[in-house]
Amino acid sequence: MAMVGDAISHAVLPGIVIAFMLTGSRDTIPMLIGAGLLGVLTTFLIEFFHRFARVQADAAIGVTFTWLFAIGIILISVFAGQVDLDQDCVLYGEIAYVPLDLIITEGGLSLGPRTVWMLSVVTLLIGAFVVLGYKELFLTTFDPAFAAAIGISTTLWYYLLMGAVSLTTVASFESVGSILVVAFLVAPPATAYLLTDDFKTMLGIAVGLGILASFAGYYLAVWMDGSIAGAIATVTGIEFLLAFLFSPTHGKLRRQKRVQVVGH
């Protein structure tokens, strides 16, 4: 399931093309709406193939995103081949351009970068979703049998969770790009998993690691004069490696040291 975000990042391409075909516009909002709808459809198809066609989860993800991505390529070549349709604006993004895309009122007042406002709203929505639905999300994720026994719909909450993943992923494409979206979905939580066994603490550590990687990766990119997204993703990998080696509870070097002490 960690790679669902990666699947969504590829599968949204036909949504971008269809949005352009319906509106004739390359504006960001129609593109994001089209991409968002395809992102939700992707999660439905993955679950459908896994549950009803009895396909392994990883195979269902692979089949779904390659199929939809291929459809997007065909649609571009047939219907939009002569048009400068910039799917890169949603799929790959560029953080350095964020301060240039401002919201300016009719009176000429600048309200700041549009992406910051959009992602702030998404952050509040996702935060409220996690806080209000914490019990249901926790039970359906870690003990679905008990959740079903007490009347909680595991299917409903699964799709709500995947819908939240789709919203987060698609909203982030334009500014950070698909590679960094996937890096943030996977690396900070995996790192936090090595540092604590308490789930609420794990959530907090994952957020903190993401923020730390953002700052450190930005300054690393400035120092190297390289890709900001690439540098941030690299830092998330370094964080995971450090936790893998030195975690007080699950670190490989710490486990070896305990084994040596016990042996003596």
Rounded Cα–Cα distance for residues 233 and 192 (Å): 16
For 143-155, what is each residue's pLDDT tens digit? Answer: 889 999 999 998 8
Of 1-5, 119-123, 197-201, the one with minimum mean pLDDT is 1-5
Query: Is 188's pLDDT higher than 60?
Result: yes
| Length of the chain as a residue count | 264
Rounded Cα–Cα distance for residues 47 and 162 (Å): 10
For 22-50, what is each residue's pLDDT tens digit? Answer: 887 666 677 777 877 887 888 888 888 88
Nearest to 212 by CA among 184, 173, 179, 246: 184
Q: How many CB atoms lie within 10 A of CB 208?
A: 12
Nearest to 80 by CA among 29, 7, 9, 22: 22
More confident residue, 256 or 151: 151
Given a contact cutoff of 8 angstroms between Cβ atoms, the answer to whether 34 and 15 are in contact is: yes
Query: Is 84's pLDDT higher than 90?
Result: no
What's the mean pLDDT in 1-5?
75
For 116-145, what is each residue's pLDDT tens digit? Answer: 888 898 899 999 999 999 999 999 988 889
Q: Quick one: DSSP state of residue 100?
A: G
Rounded Cα–Cα distance for residues 51 and 242 (Å): 37
Q: How many CB atoms lie within 10 A of CB 141?
A: 15
Query: pLDDT value at position 193?
Result: 92
